[in-house]
Amino acid sequence: MNGRVGRWGFAALVWGMVGMMVVLPPVMVFAGALSHGLRAAWDGLCDPDALSAIRLTLLITALAVAINSFFGVMAAWTLTRFSFPGRGLAIVLVELPLSVSPVVGGLVWLLVFGTQGWWGAALERWGYPVMFAPPGILLATLFVTFPYVTRTMMPMLRHMGRAQEEAAVMLGAGMWRVLWHVTLPGARAALLSGVLMTTARAMGEFGAVSVVSGHIPGLTETMPLHIETLYNGYQTVAAFAMAALLALMAMGVVAVRGLVERTALRMGKIA
Amino acid sequence: MSVRLEHLVRRVGGRPIVDDISLEVETGSFTALLGPSGAGKTSLLRIIAGLDGHDAGCVFLNGARVDMLEARSRNIGFMFQNYALFDHMTVARNIAFGLSIRPRKTRPTRAQIAARVEELLDLMHLPGMGGRYPHELSGGQRQRVALARALATGPRVLLLDEPFGALDPLVRRSIRGWLRDVHDRLGLTTILVTHDRNEACELADTIALMRDGRIVQSGTPQQLRDAPATPFAMAFMQDVTRLPGRVAAGLFIADLPDMRPVPAQGPDGRAELLVRAGDVRLLPGQGAATAWLRQTYGPIGTFDVMSGPDTLRLDALIPPGAARIVVNCALDASAGRVARDGQWLGGAGDGGDSDDNDDGEMTDPACIAPVVANLSKP
């Protein structure tokens, strides 16, 4: 009887916490977005600056995911398959963006590519500005999202071991074929999970992007930055509408990830 | 396709794990690399395959040097210890892999590949399994898929790394016979790595016994049993008891007081006598030892022998008409071999089976040998 009460007590506590910390905010966001009706929210999203922010976010996300998936896979493969001097250090460094504040990540790029930085002035003179332009935003996003694919792939590759790859080599496969036909399909659940985490993070990144973007509405504002601008400009409904859209996109990504993992589990691919 | 290894060396962290190995494997032969774990068997196999490099020496396939050739270009079939099937592919795609990744010029057509897969599935007694995934198969079936995959590209050399380790004993027995059958039928040259002497004896024509990165002895199973090159070879190939003692004036005198002295060449000093089950006879009424019979296997029994202050457990021929307790007996082990510091005393291979029994009335050793051989099998 006592144990049962305790169990219900803990369950209630967990639900209380989750409800307050996780469920309440999105609900409030959606409530705020729809407080003046669906029409007002829709109009907020159809504003040219808002559309530009959505486009920029989608573009940056797509590029960041593509680039970091490729480099993440290569990094994970290299770090698990080969031993070389400084390998341990490299593994720690890959994780660095997870622990360093995104603002610091943004500042680093500013120092390198800013007009006061090493190459910034030269690049700007040649007509390829990096800071306060989409390339800078991409760089900042790449920095913060770099660890995800590598981090999810590495345990999976370690678990798979080398035997399947060696079997493929003995059957006549070269390195790229091994990677493409054996390694990646074998670790596809981990890869997808990493890609989706990268996607979610790339869409929502604020800190690093904020430092390098320059907040030029219609040009260098991504969705999170645009939300801040709208909110600071007292356009509450538009801000909440944009926030709701961003939240929906993130939830979609999380849902896909859950689905993928469930399928993988059912097929017995994740041990 | 013959395989020849010349003075192969592989060092890991400065320590040689393959230490100056030379070996000749003839076309069509089935050779076992046998030895305890850590002997360098798998390392040697991986060097032949090209999966691991070597620091010195050469590998020849059919007389052509291949050790500068990449593993993927050697066309050697390799079966891994845990089969290493591609989990995300069906059985058919696993088997077809080697053919389907060939460059377009040499790649067979889809129909040809499918026909080859069917042919292999039949050969492996796996009809209709092509659509399954590896995790839906039993251990024995997985092993056969792995073998089919290794054979699909038509290699002439097949390397097997502990292929039976993950199977239960019953399946193991049946698969051994069948594997040998496949080897003979396809005319392969096969090299098998195992630490199980029964497996090696049952399957292989030639055994290369390895220890600490070196080949201790190579020969037919019969040769290794009858003329072991070292005490280690004898102890690894058969169940032996080691009796401590010393050599004095050309005789081995066991620490056990009732053991008859055995002729031994070599300088005086500590030594030991290695005896197999059939090598020891109890001589009732000729000594002061007492022997209790504990277990019986045909003509051989396990005895607890009390002699002086010591009790020793050893296998010996059961004297005709003996009771469960044999009193006042002496032990004759003149068929044993005397060793010191891991070497035979007085040259390799003598002092054993060539000796005839003095009394002549005992069972002929030739008749005992198969019994001993059977005993060592599970």
Task: Give the global pTM.
Answer: 0.79
User: Rounded to whole angstroms, how far apart are CA atoms B113 and B226?
Assistant: 48
In a domain? residue A76:
yes
Question: Measured between alpha carbons, how far is residue B25 from residues B57, B80, B208, B339 in Å?
Answer: 16, 20, 10, 31
Q: What percent of chain A has pLDDT over 70?
A: 96
Average pLDDT, chain A: 87
User: Rounded to whole angstroms, how far apart are CA atoms B299 and B319?
Assistant: 9
| AA identity, residue A231 | Y
- Give the total residue count for chain A: 271
User: Rounded to whole angstroms, how far apart are CA atoms B169 and B339?
Assistant: 35
Interval B323-331 mean pLDDT: 87
Structural contact between residues B327 and B319, judged by C-beta atoms closer than 8 angstroms? no
Exposure string over B210-223, b if 16+ CB within 10 A, otherwise e: bbebebbbbbebee
Closest CA to A207 of A186, A229, A224, A226: A224
Structural contact between residues B330 and B286, judged by C-beta atoms closer than 8 angstroms? yes
What's the confidence (pLDDT) of residue B349? Answer: 43
Interval B170-195 mean pLDDT: 89
In a domain? residue A111:
no
**CB interface of A with B, residues 157-186, below 8 Å:** 163-164, 166-174, 177, 181-182, 185-186
What's the confidence (pLDDT) of residue A1? Answer: 53
What's the confidence (pLDDT) of residue B108? Answer: 92
What's the confidence (pLDDT) of residue A266? Answer: 65
What's the confidence (pLDDT) of residue A260? Answer: 78
What's the confidence (pLDDT) of residue B347? Answer: 47
Chain A nearest-CA distance from B200, in A, is: 24
Ordered alpha helix ranges (H), A161-234: 163-170, 175-177, 184-186, 188-204, 207-213, 223-232
State phi, psi for A269 to the nearest 5 degrees: -90, -25
Mutation for testing the B interface, residue in A81, A166, A170, A176 having most B CBs under 10 Å: A170
On chain B, the residues whose CB falls within 8 A of the CB of A269 are 87-88
Is pLDDT above 80 for B60?
A: yes
Residue ranges covered by each domain of chain B: 3-232, 239-375
Half-sphere exposure of B167 (CA within 13 A, CB side): 22
User: Rounded to whole angstroms, how far apart are CA atoms A182 and A176?
Assistant: 10
Largest CA distance in chain B: 83
Q: Which of B71, B77, B85 sits opposite A169 (nearest CB)?
A: B71
Contact B85 A164 (CB under 8 A): yes
Mutation for testing the A interface, residue in B46, B78, B101, B160 having most A CBs under 10 Å: B101
Count of the separate structural domains present in chain A: 1
CB pairs under 8 A between A and B: 67
In a domain? residue A68:
yes
* pLDDT band with cut points at 50, 70 and 90 for residue B378: very low
What's the confidence (pLDDT) of residue B299? Answer: 87
Q: What percent of chain B has pLDDT over 90?
A: 51
Surface-to-core class of residue B320, CB atoms within 10 Å of its CB (0-12 exposed, 13-18 middle, 19+ buried): exposed
What's the confidence (pLDDT) of residue B371? Answer: 35
Mutation for testing the A interface, residue in B48, B52, B80, B191 having most A CBs under 10 Å: B80
Range of the domain at A260: 37-94+151-201+215-266
Q: Which CATH number is A56's domain given?
A: 1.10.3720.10
Per-residue pLDDT of chain A (271 residues; tens, 9 = 90+): 567 788 899 999 999 999 988 889 889 888 888 888 888 888 888 889 999 999 999 999 999 999 999 999 999 999 998 888 989 899 999 988 888 888 888 888 888 887 777 777 777 778 777 778 888 899 999 999 999 999 999 999 998 889 999 999 999 999 899 999 999 998 888 898 899 999 999 999 998 888 888 888 888 889 999 999 998 988 888 899 999 999 999 899 988 888 877 876 666 544 3
What's the confidence (pLDDT) of residue A4? Answer: 78
User: Rounded to whole angstroms, how far apart are CA atoms A271 and A16?
Assistant: 33
Each residue's pLDDT tens digit, A173-224: 998 999 999 999 988 888 988 999 999 999 999 988 888 888 888 888 899 9
CA B79 to chain centre: 18
Among B73-77, B169-173, B317-321, which stretch is predicted with the lowest mean pLDDT? B169-173
Question: Measured between alpha carbons, how far is residue A119 from residues A103, A253, B290, B377 in Å?
Answer: 21, 37, 96, 76
Instruction: Please give the CATH architecture assigned to the domain spanning B3-232.
Output: 3-Layer(aba) Sandwich (3.40)
State phi, psi for A77 to the nearest 5 degrees: -65, -50
Contact B51 A171 (CB under 8 A): no
Among B127-136, B143-152, B165-174, B235-244, which stretch is predicted with the lowest mean pLDDT? B165-174
* Chain B residues with CB within 8 Å of chain A CB: 49, 51, 71-73, 75-78, 80-82, 84-89, 97-98, 101-102, 135, 149-150, 152-153
In a domain? residue A115:
no
